[in-house]
Amino acid sequence: ELLPANAAEALRPDLLKAREETLADVALFDAGGEVPSDKEPLDAGYIDLPAKLLATKDSGELADLLAATERFREEVDAFVSLGIGGSYMGLRALQEALGDPLHNEKPASHRDGPKLYYGGQNVDPGVTAGLLEHLENSGVDWGIVVISKSGGTLETALAFRLFREALEEAAGDDAAKRVIPVTGGAGSKLRALAEEKGYADIFPVPDGVGGRFSVLSAVGLVPAAALGLDVVALLQGAADMTERFKTADPGDNPVLDYVSTCHLFEKHLSMDVRILSTWGDRLEAVGLWYDQLLAESLGKKERGALPLTVVNTRDLHSRGQQHQEGKRDKLIHNLYADSPSGPNPEVPSSEANQDELNKYAGKSMFDVLTAARQGTDQAYAEDRRPTADIILPTIDAYAIGQLLQMLMLATTVEGRLIGINPYGQPGVEAYKRNMNAILSAS
Ligand code: PA5
C-alpha cells in the first residue's frame, strides 16, 4: 500500500536480468573464462559449492572432512577456532542456531563433542591472555582449527602463533594431530606453515569462494562438524535453495522475492536501514553474519543499505522505541521459526498468583513469543511501518542451510541489480596498510 501501484511488476524484468547475470557469473567461473575487469573479483564459486560437496560425501572432500573431524573429536576435549570476518561469523551463526546453548557448560558425558572457544576474531590482549591461561590450566587435551583464506590476516596469524606455541608446549609431538588449518591455495602463508609443520589434515577454501560467502565451505563445515552439527543436512538445504533460485519464478522464489521487497522499499521510499528482527536467541548470530555479508558486499561507492540485527523480545526494550516512532527509514524483516525447535516450557499455575500470571497458565513460551511478534507487527502496521517475514519451518540444519544460501544469493542478486560488485572488499585494505605501516615504523 505504501508503494506505487505496479512497482513490483515493473521490477520483474530487472530481477530476472540480475538472476541471469548471477548465473552467467557461475558459468563463467565454471568454465574458467576470463573475468570482465568491471566484475573483479568474481567469487561465484559459492553458488554451486553445496551440491558439489554433497557429491563427495562418500569419497572426496566431504568424506575426508567428516573423517578428519571425527578423528579430531576423539583427539580433543576442547578447541579454539581462530579466524575473523568471513572466517569467523559463519561458524558462530551455525553454532548459535544449531548447537546446545549450554554446550561449554556441560560435562563431556552430556555434551556432543569438544568445547568451542573463539580467538583471533579481535585484538583484545586481556581476553586472549585469559583464554590462553584457561586452556593451559584446563587439564584437558585441546586443539586448534585455524581459518584464514588469505593466510595472511594479522589478527588470525597473531592468535595462531600464540595458541600454537601454547599447544606445542602442552602437547609436544601430539600438537600436530590437534591442529586443522583451513586456508587458500598457493600464496597462503598459513598453508606454507601448515605444510612445514606436517599437519595431516589441511582443508581448502576453494578459489572463487569469498570470505563472507564461505560458511558452507570447509571454513564453516570443519568446525561445525567438529561440534557434531549435521553438515550434510546444511549442505542439502543450501543446494535445494540454489536449485529453487535458479528455476522458480518471482513470487515463488525466496531469493528474488526477498530482494524485490528490499529494493522496492529502498528505491521508492528511501528505506535503506534494513532491520533483521530475529525472534528468540538462536538466530541472533545468523543476523550478525548477515550484517557482515550485506555491509561488506554492497557498502561500496557510497551506496548500500545499512543492516542491523535485533533480537526480540530483548530489543523491544531497547531499540523498539526507535523502530516504532523514529525516522521512517527502516524496513523490518522478521526472521522466525514457525514451530519450537526444542523444549517449550509452559506458564505454570500458582495458588498464590501474586504475579497474576494465572490468566496465561498453560500457554507456552513459544505462544508468548508469537504473541509478542504479532503484537509488534500490529503496532507497526497501525503506524504504517512496513514489515515482511522470513519464516523457517523450524530451526534445524536443513532450514539454516536454506536460509544462509538464500541470503548469500540475495546479496549477490541485489548487487547485480544496483550495479555493485558484491565480491571483494577494497575498503577494508586501507586500515590494514596503515596498521602495518604504524607497526613497522614504531
Ligand atoms: O569477507 C571477507 O572476505 C572478509 O571478511 C574475510 O573473511 C576476512 O577479512 C578474513 O580473511 P581471511 O580468511 O583471509 O583471513
Task: Give the tens place of pLDDT for each residue, 219-270.
Answer: 999 999 999 999 999 999 999 999 999 999 999 999 999 999 999 999 999 9
In sequence order, the 6+-apart residues with CB closer than 8 A to the CB of 213 are: 43, 46, 86, 293, 408, 423
Any atom of ligand 1 within 6 Å of the Cβ of 424? no
Does 261 contact ligand 1 (Cβ within 6 A)? Answer: no
Kindly give the confidence (pLDDT) of every residue in the chain, 442 residues in length, as a single tens digit, with 9 standing for 90 and above: 899 998 989 999 999 999 999 998 888 777 765 555 555 668 899 999 999 999 999 999 999 999 999 999 999 999 999 999 999 999 999 999 999 999 999 999 999 999 999 999 999 999 999 999 999 999 999 999 999 999 999 999 999 999 999 999 999 999 999 999 999 988 999 999 999 999 999 999 988 899 999 999 999 999 999 999 999 999 999 999 999 999 999 999 999 999 999 999 999 999 999 999 999 999 999 999 999 999 999 999 999 999 999 999 999 999 999 999 999 999 999 999 999 989 999 999 999 999 999 999 999 999 999 999 999 999 999 999 999 999 999 999 999 999 999 999 999 999 999 999 999 888 988 999 999 999 999 8
CA 83 / ligand 1 centre spacing (Å)? 8
422 lines ligand 1 (CB under 6 A): no
Cell of 60: 572426496
- Gap from CA of 371 to ligand 1 centroid (Å): 39
432 is catalytic: yes
Q: What is the pLDDT of residue 29?
A: 74
Q: Is 85 in the pocket of ligand 1 (CB under 6 A)?
A: yes
To 10 degrees, the CA torsion angle through 98, 104, 110, 112? Answer: 50
Calculate the alpha carbon distances from 7 to 12, 42, 257 in Å: 9, 31, 13
At 146, is the secondary structure helix, strand, or coil? strand
Model pLDDT, residue 41:
65
User: Among the atoms of ligand 1, which is closest to the Cα of residue 183?
Assistant: 13
Q: What pLDDT shows up at residue 186? A: 85
- ipTM (interface predicted TM): 0.99
Say what the pLDDT of residue 299 is. Answer: 97
Task: Measure 414 CA to ligand 1 centroid, in angstroms.
Answer: 21
Global pTM reads 0.96
- Amino acid (1-letter code) at residue 354: Q
Output the pLDDT for position 410.
98
Concerning whether 359 is annotated as a catalytic residue, the answer is: no
* Closest CA relative to residue 121, chosen from 90, 167, 164, 165: 90
Q: Is 344 helix (H, G, I), strand (E, B) or coil?
A: coil
> In the β-sheet with 142-148, what is the strand arrangement from edge to edge?
115-119, 78-82, 142-148, 179-183, 203-204
> Is 84 close to ligand 1, i.e. is its CB under 6 Å away?
yes
Residues 296, 323, 330, 333: which is the catalytic one? 296
Task: Write the Ramachandran bin of 183: left for phi over 0, alpha for psi from -120 to 50, otherwise beta.
Answer: beta
Cell numbers representing residue 75 in the block? 583427539
Catalytic residue of the set 34, 317, 351, 382: 317
Three cell numbers at 262?
528490499
> Could you check whether the bond before residue 387 is cis, i.e. omega within 30 degrees of 0?
no
Q: Which phi and psi (to 5°) does residue 108 adopt? A: -50, -35
Interval between CA 343 and ligand 1 midpoint (Å): 36
> Is 11 close to ligand 1, i.e. is its CB under 6 Å away?
no
Distance 411 CA to ligand 1 centre (A): 17
CA distances from 124 to 127, 128, 130, 159, 314 (A): 6, 6, 10, 10, 27
